[in-house]
Structure 1
Amino acid sequence: MDKAQYLSREILRCVFLFFPLLLLGADHRISQASRQRHQAIREHYKGTERLGWWEGRTMTGDWEGRLTKLARMGITFDSNFTTDIAANPVGGQAKGFAYAGSYGLSLNINCEKVGFQGLDLFSSAVWRTGTSLSQRKIGNQFPVQQVFGSQTVKLNELYLSLAAWEEGILIKAGRLDAGNDFLASPLYSRYVNNGFNGNPVAVFFNVPFTAYPNSTWGAYLFCRPYQYLSMKYAAFNANSDVLKAKYHGVNFTFQSTNGVLWITEWCALVNQEQGASGMPGHYKVGYYYMTGDEPKFTGGKQRGDQCLYFLFDQMIVRQGGSLSTRGLTSFISLLLAPKNRNLFPFYFDAGLQYRGLFPGRPDDYLSLGYIYGKYSSTQARVQRSEGKEAENFETVWELSYWAQINQWFYITPDLQYIVHPRGLHIPNAFVIAAQIGFDIW
């Protein structure tokens, strides 16, 4: 048996062995930048140094060299567990406590070893448990626990990707999460409130935009023609029905209930070229258009829906040398959509995040964030005409500290203050929370 046949056989064995496990796994850190993460895992296993349990990359180590062997064949795994524990001792509809957990697993098969340069097969899944403090006790709109949602076993992404031109072009096709590639930033993952974490949450209330742990059929193109500019384009099947928990992520129908979601995002990269000494920043402008008929608050339907959005982040203080990643970064997000058929026609969030504030803690993050979501004034007029209380706005303040204990374990104490929950006369709520995460494989 030649080398190519041997590698092909081992890849197939690995897929059939681990695919059932994929139906049991993933959290927010599996959801974004999957290609870069698995590339880093392959690079890690190229080395010969083996660290102890506490100093290692993951909690379970190298499995006596088995993961190294697989990684050198192009097969890598990423698995973690995240839990959000939260209580509201003040405010809300009632005082209470809630736990939510998310176990995740992803598999990436790099096909370079069998002659397909730049081709990868990727899949991820999730097993979520627990309850929502926002739903059960507070009654607010923007969930205070980011890992709550689709509390079941669910297949997430399953796609092929092809990279070319030294990663300057990337194509993906299959079951995709729109939120992994659009309306996203690594800065958001350091927060616990779901208004920040992942994507600016208003988009999910406005259109069937998919994000971890939900996916849909789609095709995606990334290109970076210059070091200072990147462009993204994608089309997704806009079907909110297939996202229901009862399908467990395996409803593969192409039928669409809301047409096609077309989206593009352009990013100006400041001080991102290799060796740049200035403070880095990202300035993104995006637009999406959904082709289906959308119900209007005043009755009837209107063809199509759309949104213009802006995501900016910029390091403003650097601690250390010109290439140091420690320092203070600011960000803002702004989403604008038609008010006659979108729950949140205006959504804004902003934050400050300091990496490595304290000596000897280079991978800790101190984060302060603010969210303002304005409910549709058209909906409010309809609510008042029906004798109902009109929803106005909801605001969130959040302060958190991501403490990276070692490479595979972190704890994030978190405080949140919810103002005007769900835009109604619900008492403002104070939330004490903690997020704990482990990288298992």
Structure 2
Amino acid sequence: MAHRIPMFALLAGCCLLAAAPVTSAHAKEPSVETEPGKGEPEITAAPVAAIAPIPFEETMTGDWGGLRTRLKGSGISLRADYVSETFSAVDGGVRRGTAYTQQIRAGMDFDMGKIAGWSGAIFHVTLNDRRGVGISADYVGNRLPIQEAYGGQYVRLGEVSYEQNLLDSKLNLRLGYFAMGNDLGGMALGCNFVNAAFCAHPLSLSGDSGWYNYPNARWGAAIRYRPRADIALRTGIYQVNPDLGNEGNAFHPFAGGSTGVILPFEVEYDPGLRTDSRVLPGHYKVGVYYDTSRAARLGGGEKVTARYGVYILADQMILREGSGGRGLSLFGQFTANPEASAQITRWYAAGVVKTGTLRGRDADTLALGIVHAQFDPRLRRAHAETAGILEGYAALPAGETAIEMSYGFQARRWLSIRPDVQYIIEPGSFAFRSTRNALALGCQVRMQF
């Protein structure tokens, strides 16, 4: 059953919790899984005395009387975080109502250089638990999830992997059971939004192939190489196994059901990593992927022997205020997939993010974005013929659009609160129905334990 909470009380509570100013330039919004080892030097053994104490402000539970620092000095880092997203569908969609969903993630990272003398090696273990109700699934009825933390509402094994940095960290290898999207196709700037269409991967990647994002894990091998500081090349080979997405296999990583492998290649240019401090930061990614699995041909006919796609992702700061993180950034996304195998054939997204808003709110963000997912014309045509729609497939909605505005309060270094507004255009597109445009209001809360 959905949790019904008056929206005025929800938003008022968000604003009260966020009232304390944060002026530290080091405050950072928690986000989804990011690229492992990025920008870190090769790890070598160090005595416990060389480890700086963990600042109390970094996590809600602090340093546990110095225990966390001592464990880190011994090579064991503990991490845990919580995110909740409460939204009300106040107009349009299928019906009105309020829904709450949450995610708790916990894990350990073992620095094998300190533990066993394996320089540059890290072993990762992560568990993930999701609970709650989806506002998109149960109320609005749209394809682009209004809540990023909804999907697979159960506890599961999120990662068991071995990471190795080589060649002065220019080369990074990862082997094991983990999410492919940890390394490829992501846009960290997108997690200044709540809708999963923005945070943190285009849904056309995972919706049209065996591509999978956190918290879904598969067996794989990831390779990242930096020929120079501002350029990264990423590739790998990853298992395609739809059955590992079933709750019954949440702790059965060796379950059968593999249909093939997915082979990606991505090039990223990051001008912010150049030595010239006058260069404004940004990220430019171009990628392709090829899924060897056989899949049903959309709209009828024989199976396709493979699935594939291309993507272009870019974000760029265009205005910087001072020496800290304050500034204005733009972003854009485009993906393309063939009509024979892709439910979403084209994907377009664009937006703007302002970091540092009011005076003394250097870590707050204001974000505005729009995303459009184009529905495969083959599926629309086949449905129109089956349903006997005289006007043809052109009478059906061509795709779904989401517009989102979000304000991120960094209330503490370990706590962010994000009041959020989303407007969904043609929410019934992927169900072959005309549904009133929907308005959803809500709030996201993130905590680092």
Contact 1:45 1:71 in 2 (8 A): no
Of residues 121, 143, 146, the one that matches 1:144 is: 146
Distance 1:239 1:124, change over 3 A: same
> Which residue of the partner structure matches residue 132 of structure 1?
134
Shift, 1:274, TM fit: 3.2
What displacement does 1:374 show?
Answer: 0.3
**What are the equivalent positions in structure 2 for 1:6-25 lying under 5 Å apart?**
none
**Alignment-mate amino acid for residue 276 of structure 1:** S
The residue that corresponds to 1:161 in the other structure is 163
Report how far residue 48 of structure 1 moved. 4.9
Q: Sort the Cα spacing of 1:189 and 1:48 in 2 relative to 1 into closer, same or farther, 3 A.
A: same
Look up the match of 1:88: 89
SS at match of 1:194: coil
Which aligned pairs between 1:394-413 and structure 2 lie closer than 5 A?
Answer: 394-413=400-419
Q: What's 2:310 paired with?
A: 308
Answer whether contact 2:93 2:427 (CA < 8 A) is retained: yes
What does the per-residue CA deviation read over 1:385-406, in whole Å, with 9 as the maximum and x for residues that have no partner? 1017745210000000111111
Question: Does residue 347 of structure 2 align to residue 338 of structure 1?
Answer: no
The answer to whether structure 1 residue 347 and structure 2 residue 347 are counterparts is yes
Query: Please, what TM-score do these two structures have when normalized by structure 2?
Result: 0.86
Of residues 147, 171, 174, the one that matches 1:172 is 174
> For the residues of structure 1 that align with 2:406 and 2:49, how far apart are their CA atoms?
33
Separation of aligned partners in 2, 1:413 and 1:45: 42
Question: What's the CA shift string for 1:133-174, capped at 9, x where partnerless?
Answer: 111111100010000011001110111010012221100010
Q: Which amino acid aligns with 1:214?
A: N
Partner of 2:284: 283
Tell me the alpha carbon deviations over residues 275-332 of structure 1, each in whole angstroms, 9 at most, x when there is no partner: 42111222110000001112112222011011011001111111114xx321011111
Matching residue within 217, 241, 244 for 2:243: 241
1:241, distance to aligned residue in structure 2 (A): 1.2
Deviation at 1:249, TM superposition (A): 4.2
TM-superposed deviation, 1:191: 0.8
Q: Structure 1 residue 352: deviation in Å?
A: 0.5
**Structure 2 vs 1, CA of residues 296 and 51 (structure 1 numbering), >3 Å: closer, same or farther?**
closer
Cα pair distance change 1:222/1:48, threshold 3 Å = closer
Deviation at residue 32 of structure 1 after TM alignment:
2.0
Could you tell me whether the CA contact under 8 Å between 2:111 and 2:123 is conserved in 1? yes
Contact 2:224–2:235, Cα closer than 8 Å, also in 1? yes
C-alpha contact 1:235 1:261 (8 A) present in aligned 2: yes
2: distance between equivalents of 1:197 and 1:245?
23
Deviates more, 1:248-257 or 1:97-106: 248-257
**Residues 331 and 50 of structure 1: CA distance in aligned 2, closer, same or farther (over 3 Å):** closer
Q: 2:343 is matched by which residue type in structure 1?
A: L
Q: Which runs of 5+ in 1 are unaligned?
A: 1-26
Match of 1:186 in 2: 188
Q: Give the whole-Å Cα distance in 2 for the aligned partners of 1:86 and 1:173.
A: 38
| Structure 2 residue aligned with 1:363 | 363
Cα distance in 1 between the residues matched to 2:406 and 2:110: 36
Counterpart of 1:68 in structure 2 is 69
Q: Structure 1 residues 79 and 388, CA, compared in 2 at 3 Å: closer, same or farther?
A: farther
Aligned twin of 2:435: 426
Q: Which moved more, 1:274-283 or 1:196-205?
A: 274-283
Does the 8 A contact of 2:175 with 2:220 survive in 1?
yes
RMSD, matched Cα: 2.2
State the shift of 1:108 in Å: 0.4
Q: 1:100-119 to 2 correspondence within 5 Å?
A: 100-113=101-114, 114-119=116-121
Name 1:32's counterpart in structure 2. 34
The 8 Å contact of residues 38 and 108 in structure 1, kept in 2 or not, is answered as no
Shift of 1:269: 2.1
Structure 2 regions of 5+ residues with no counterpart? 1-28, 390-395
Q: Which residue of 1 aligns with 2:205?
A: 203
Secondary structure of 2:82 counterpart:
strand
Cα offset, 1:231, TM superposition: 0.2
1:47 to partner: Cα distance: 5.5
Once the two structures are TM-superposed, the CA of residue 357 in structure 1 deviates from its matched residue by: 2.1
Q: How many equivalent pairs are there?
A: 406
Q: Distance in 2 between matches of 1:94 and 1:379?
A: 26
Deviates more, 1:237-246 or 1:366-375: 237-246
In 2, the alpha carbon distance for the partners of 1:89 and 1:74 equals 49
TM-score, L = length of structure 1:
0.88
C-alpha distance in 1 between matches for 2:39 and 2:84: 21
The range that moved more, 358-367 or 141-150, is 358-367
- 2:447 corresponds in structure 1 to 438
How far does the alpha carbon of each residue in 1:326-367 deviate from its partner, in whole angstroms, 9 at most, with x for none?
101111111100012100010111110011122211111111
Deviation at 1:376, TM superposition (A): 0.3
Matches of 1:45 and 1:211, distance apart in 2: 38
C-alpha distance in structure 2 between counterparts of 1:407 and 1:265, whole Å:
32
Structure 1 97/388 Cα, relative in aligned 2: closer, same or farther at 3 Å?
farther
- Specify whether residues 241 and 230 from structure 1 end up closer, same or farther in structure 2 by C-alpha distance, changes over 3 A only: same
AA matched with 2:338: P
More RCO (CA 8 Å, sep 6+): 2
Q: Would the aligned equivalents of 1:30 and 1:78 in 2 still touch at CA under 8 Å?
A: no
Partner secondary structure for residue 188 of structure 1: helix
- Cα contact 2:290–2:306 (8 A) shared by 1: yes
2:344 alignment partner, SS class: coil
